[in-house]
Structure 1
Amino acid sequence: MHKATILKGGKRKSNKAPRFVKGFQLFDKVVYERKECFIFGRRSSGYFDLRLLDGTKVHASASWKKLKRVEHASTLLIERRKGDSSPTFALA
């Protein structure tokens, strides 16, 4: 998409936030209120859309001041999940 107002000279400017906003980028793993989550959306104002890998929203617009980076974004997104181990069967 482009910005609504065309600049002098007829050049249209892209309507995207820069790659790095306040030192964070898309898919960085961060801690927000003791929860590990990922940055799924960024705004140039320094607010971020935080979600888990399954798409569950943690916060729609969290401030960069409340975030702590755990990992930089890479090609692999890894999230630890707690779950039950394989079921045990009682032998009779």
Structure 2
Amino acid sequence: MAKRERGRRALQDEVSRRIQQIDEIGEDGAKIRVPSPQPHPRDARGRNWDMDFDNLHGYAASVRAAVDKVRDEFDLNEALENRAPNPFGD
């Protein structure tokens, strides 16, 4: 299955949304600053970007799992950053 492509901001927003849905983070009212995705050469799992977080205060495993799910679903395409969003999805 081909991955959908997103720009940096869209990926950052999607990761943020998923992190806030993690029960322990939501229940604790924790605020996690989501960094901009950083491109890298495609790895063995076909991923072309990642995020480095600071100070996850015990949420590292949950946040990493959320980020990795988004990395599995979406490729970073920086050319999409300046394109107007499509209100109808893909």
TM tier, smaller? under 0.3
Choose between structure 1 and 2: higher helix proportion: 2
Relative contact order (C-alpha < 8 Å, sep 6+): which is higher?
2
Larger radius of gyration: 1
Choose between structure 1 and 2: higher strand proportion: 1
So what's the TM-score if we normalise by structure 1? Answer: 0.26
